[in-house]
Amino acid sequence: MESEFAALQTVVDKIIEFFVNYSFQVLGAVIVLVAGVILGNWAAKIIGRLCEKSKLDVTLTKFLASIGKILIVIFAVIIALGKFGITITPFIAAIGAVAFGATYAIQGPLSNYGAGLSIILGRPFVVGDTISVAGVAGVVDSVRMASTTLINEDGVRITIPNKHIVGEILHNSGEYRIVESSVGISYGDDPEKAIKVIASTLNSLNEIAKKPFPQIGIENFGDSSVDIGYRYWVPTKKYFRTMHMTNLAVYKAIKGANITIPFPQRDVLLKKDG
């Protein structure tokens, strides 16, 4: 019992001795760390405002603000360690050795981060753009170091690892997506009249972008009809809704102009033996 009490007394004495000798260093280190975090947050806000005034995109703004905050916090940690007489040189060497050994085990995540940095700095697309890559398409919702998130018209969030974006063929149509459709008219009707009717219909719909202008013309000469093709641009998040509405409007306009929309016809000849 006496030995256990003596051991406990020794531990208490060591703790008291530590706080007596290093209390000011601990307090100073805590103050430095808190100040570093506060200063880092303040610097991130300042950088964000400057980037917004310079009209940089959201992704690059967040990246620069985060870098500024991290650098200040790291500097504060270095100063806090210095309060205890600790140098960071051994830590840097140890981190380097660990990183070198772990490189092969985390090649996938590292490649995603490298690709993310390339996207943020190269800016092949920004938040709000419509892109098609790796077999999927949607509006860019966010760009992070490891992945990019798209949202399609159905509200589905699509997360793509950045390594599957960089180096691939990427289609970027800005805020809009093109719609391609056609309607057939009878060979006995005037195609120029049909083109004017379709053009007037497309121009009357507010959901369709005015620039680029819709493109309308004869697309094909079918067996039973002259096919009038038309192409127009709509906001990506309203793609299907606008396409369906436009097709109905074109159908009503063609019918209202007394232009015939033919259906496939086939002549059948019956031969009677004998």
Average pLDDT of 74-98?
A: 63
Structure tokens at 7: 């051991």
Q: How many CB atoms lie within 10 A of CB 146?
A: 16
Position 22 confidence tier, pLDDT thresholds 50, 70, 90: low
Count of positions (residues) in the chain: 274
Is pLDDT of 106 > 50? no
Q: What is the 3-state secondary structure (H, E, C) of the chain?
A: CHHHHHHHHHHHHHHHHHHHHHHHHHHHHHHHHHHHHHHHHHHHHHHHHHHHHCCCCHHHHHHHHHHHHHHHHHHHHHHHHHCCCCCCHHHHHHHHHHHHHHCCCCHHHHHHHHHHHHHHHHCCCCCCCEEEECCEEEEEEEECCCEEEEECCCCCEEEEEHHHCCCCCCEECCCEEEEEEEEEECCCCCHHHHHHHHHHHHHHCCCCCCCCCCEEEEEEECCCCEEEEEEEEEEHHHHHHHHHHHHHHHHHHHHHCCCCCCCCCCCCCCCCCC
Position 243 confidence tier, pLDDT thresholds 50, 70, 90: very high
User: Which pLDDT score is estimated for 222?
Assistant: 86
Average pLDDT of 180-193?
A: 93
Domain boundaries, the chain: 2-101, 126-172, 176-256
Lowest average pLDDT, out of 59-63, 65-69, 195-199, 216-220, goes to 59-63
* Residues forming beta bridges with residue 159, ordered by sequence position: 149
Q: Assign a CATH topology to domain 2-101.
A: Helix Hairpins (1.10.287)
Structure tokens at 150: 């798209």
Q: Exposed e or buried b for every residue in 125-134, given b needs 16+ CB within 10 A?
A: bbbebbbebe
Q: Looking at per-residue confidence, does 129 or 268 come out higher?
A: 129
| Angstrom distance (rounded) from CA 157 to CA 176 | 18
Q: Looking at per-residue confidence, does 8 or 75 come out higher?
A: 75
In the CATH scheme, what is the code of domain 126-172?
A: 2.30.30.60
Lowest average pLDDT, out of 22-36, 95-109, 213-227, goes to 95-109
The predicted-structure confidence for 160-173, as pLDDT tens digits, reads as follows: 998 889 888 898 98
Structure tokens at 228: 């009038």
Sorted by sequence, the CB contacts under 8 Å of residue 195 that are 6+ apart come out as 216, 217, 228
CA dihedral sign, ordered 136, 140, 142, 146: positive
Is pLDDT of 192 > 50? yes
User: Which pLDDT score is estimated for 102?
Assistant: 46
Q: Assign a CATH topology to domain 176-256.
A: Alpha-Beta Plaits (3.30.70)
Is pLDDT of 128 > 70? yes
User: Which pLDDT score is estimated for 135?
Assistant: 86
Lowest average pLDDT, out of 53-62, 80-89, 183-192, 233-242, goes to 80-89
Is pLDDT of 111 > 70? yes
Q: Looking at per-residue confidence, does 229 or 272 come out higher?
A: 229
Sorted by sequence, the CB contacts under 8 Å of residue 197 that are 6+ apart come out as 253, 254, 257, 259
Q: What percent of the chain has pLDDT over 70?
A: 72
The closest of 261, 256, 196, 257 to 225, measured between CA atoms, is: 261
Is pLDDT of 140 > 70? yes
